[in-house]
Each structure stands twice: as structure tokens, then as C-alpha cells.
Amino acid sequence: MGTPDQHGTRYQTKTPRTVLDHQIRDVRQETLQEFAEYAERFARDHGEPGTLSVRHLDRLVNGRGLHGKPLGKPRPATARLLERIFGIPIDVLLAPYVPEKERAQVDGHAPSLRLDDAYVETLHSRIAELVDLDLYLGGDHSSTIALQLFRSVHRKLGANRCDPALERDLYAAAGELGEVAGWLLFDAGKHDLVRRINHEALHLSRLAGDHSMELLTLQNMSMHAGHLGRPSEALRIARMVLETNTLSPRLEALFRTREARALALGGAGTAAERTFRQAHSLYQDGVRDEDPAWAWWINDQELAWHEAVIQSDSADWCSATDTFHASIEVIPSREVRRRYNHLASLLDAQIRVGAWRDVDQTIERVLPYVDEVGSSRTATTLLGALDQLGTARATPSVRESAAQLRDLLTEAGYSR
């Protein structure tokens, strides 16, 4: 099984909570309050209200309730704190507060920058932090930061010079950043942006000749098409990759899994089951030296998750319940967003089969994550699961727990 340690991948960084603890420990309380208020304003100015609420961020940082009003440009201390935590340049953080006309004038007359190897290394470091933030906090919290950074890098690529020897590395890093931003936007439920950023990431990776990142982005595009209810598009992307590439067993297993998911969504349950068995057999062939660093996450829990979703799409809810449960038991403790998402899908399956005692227990496991992990995708799954209760013969205890969960989701900013 591929693991981060075996591959030495970019995903090996300190957890965001550790980063926050070390960087915030000695910062004054007033700065933290302004930091929380600024983050909410930053999200709202990008047309994404509620992406990061003052209440949620403050609970993460110091457990205090805040009642601050939105601010404009942050004080230097706050801007430095944001820069230190997220690795985003201050000029990017302040960009929303520069009028468009003024920004265009500044951009048009800005001196040309020299993008060097240190800049490329900084991009890789920022990408690693964003991936860790996703593992711990979900896409709602980090997608706005990732998108703003990607747009900044994208502008620099078009307007500045680069050492020809570094050009491919720079475009590859930008393509990787786009792939990560696309994933985070997907988890945040910003689907129009997902399609746009995925296409930009694919373009940059192809310019760089980074075939492995191109494959990962195509995998994301197939996933996204299926999520939007476009199984034919999802199937076409997966099969195009399979037909035009010589893949290692681990990568072929990934795209066979995508093929199986698309078949199940399209109503071809028997073909989906057969294709997934093929994918699982390929997965058991193990890893190869040529597998990309990102392939570590194609592992036991990932395969179990996909098998459960295929069973769900085929309306085999009893099997899906057992498989979702098995997938959760092997999730590493630090992958909080993944655990939260899998628990939401398990809850949906348990409600559909009327396993009320298990439903009660799963709601109890889900509740702590609702206002800590920002994942609109997962919140949508939870709300859909609660809607399934309807006129079902749920026990009074389940209905009481479900009402508590719905209230908490509403308080966190999620509703139908």
C-alpha cells in the first residue's frame, strides 16, 4: 500500500493545528479578533459569503465568542499573521481592497519581476500547507486562500520573466497549485469555479510537460463530472485516459475505479461491479517506482470508499452501510475532513435502511465536526440524509438527535 513515508510526497507537513499553535501562541488577543473578522470580510468580498465565519475561526483559535463588525484593510500586525499562517503575500491579501481601476493601473505599470528557484520552492511549500489545511479543516476554509494565490501566480506567469531553465518547474508548480485549488473548491461546493480552475490547471501542467499532474487533474475532472450528475462525461474522461496512456497498475486501478463510478451513476450496475473488481485486482499488484508521489492516497480506505459509493449508486444500501463503516475504521486520525465526509455518507446509508440504533451512534460521532470542519460537500450530504427521515419510522431518540444535527448545521451556515 502506498503511504506518504514511502513516497516522500509534498503532503508530509506539520498539521495545521500545530502550525496555528506555534504561530499564534504569542499574538495579542486583539490581533486574533481582527484576524477572524478580516478573514470573514476577505471571503465575502470575493462573492462567497459564509466561507469562513468569525465564530468558527475563533472556536478553532481560542474558543472565545466574537461579535466584531466587518473591517476594511487589516492592520499590519494582522496582515503579517495571515501571511505567516497561510503563506500568502501581503499584497495578495490586500488585493480585494484596491479598486479595480487602480489595480489595473498598478498592474499595467508594475516593474517586471524575476521569478527564480526560491519562488518555485515557496510555491511548493504553500501547496503543502494548503493540502494539510484541507486534511484538517476542509475546503470551505482554505479554498478562498488557494484561489487567490492561484490567481496571483497565474498573473505573474503571464507578465514576468523566468530563467528558461526554471520555466517548466514554475509552470508545473502553478499547475499543481491549480489542481489543489480545484479540489478545495470542489469540497467547498463552488462548482463553476471548479470547472474553470481544473481546465487552467490542466493547461499549465501540459505546458510544463508534467504528465503525472495532468493525470491527477483529469481524475479530478471525472470525479467532478460524476458529482454534477454527468455520468457520460465522467465515463468519457476516464476511458480517454485508459485508452491513450500506458498506466502502472496503481494508476490504472484509479481510472478503472472512476470508470466503475461513472457506470454505476449511469445505471449500469453489473458493469460497474465488474469494472471495480478489475480495479481492485490491479490495486493489489502494489506500487511501482514510476508511480507519482501523489499516488499514496490510492489506498485501502480510498478503495473501500469508492466501493461503498458504487453500492449506493446501485441502491444496494445494506452493502453500502457495511462498506462505508469499514472504510471509516481504517482512516488515519489526522485525516479529519475525510472521516467527517465518510461518516456523513454512512449516516445517509443507515437512514435508508432504517438502522436506527446505528443512526443515533453515527450522529453522535458526526456532531463534533460540524462547526470545526468546513466542507459544504459534506454538509450537503448530511442535509440530504436528514431529509430522508421524512415520514420514516425513526425512533424518538433519532428524531431528537437529527434535530440537534440540523440545528448545528444551520448555526454553522448550512441549510437547504
Tell me the CA distances in angstroms from 127 to 13, 112, 130, 328, 329, one per residue in order: 10, 24, 5, 26, 28
Find the angle CA(219)-CA(328)-CA(371) to the nearest 5 degrees. Answer: 90
H or E segment at 188? none
Q: How far apart are CA 113 and CA 161, in angstroms?
A: 6
Residue 3: per-residue pLDDT: 35
* C-alpha dihedral (147, 150, 151, 152), degrees to nearest 10: 120
Residue 49: per-residue pLDDT: 36
Residue 99: per-residue pLDDT: 47
Would you say residue 22 has pLDDT above 60?
no
Beta bridge partners of 161: 114
Residue 250, classified by CB atoms within 10 Å of its CB into exposed (0-12), middle (13-18) or buried (19+), is buried
CB 103 within 8 A of CB 148: no
Least trusted range by pLDDT, from 96-105, 226-235, 324-333: 96-105
First-to-final CA distance of the chain:
39
Q: Which three cell numbers stand for residue 163?
A: 530563467
Residue 124: per-residue pLDDT: 94
pLDDT tens digits for range 95-144:
444 444 444 444 444 456 778 888 899 999 999 999 988 988 899 989 99
Chain position carrying cell 473548491: 185
pLDDT tens digits for range 361-408:
999 999 999 989 999 999 999 999 999 998 788 999 999 999 999 999
Residue 204, classified by CB atoms within 10 Å of its CB into exposed (0-12), middle (13-18) or buried (19+), is buried
Give the number of other CB atoms < 10 A from CB of residue 230: 17
Residues 6+ positions from 73 with CB-CB distance below 8 Å: 94, 97
CB 269 within 8 A of CB 231: no
The more confidently predicted of residues 49 and 221 is 221
Q: How far apart are CA 396 and CA 251, in angstroms?
A: 47
What does pLDDT average to over the chain?
80
Phi-psi region of 315 (alpha: psi -120 to 50; beta: other; left: phi over 0): left
Chain position carrying cell 460521532: 365
H or E segment at 115? strand 114-115
Q: How far apart are CA 208 and CA 152, in angstroms?
A: 18
Name the 3-class secondary structure at 162.
strand
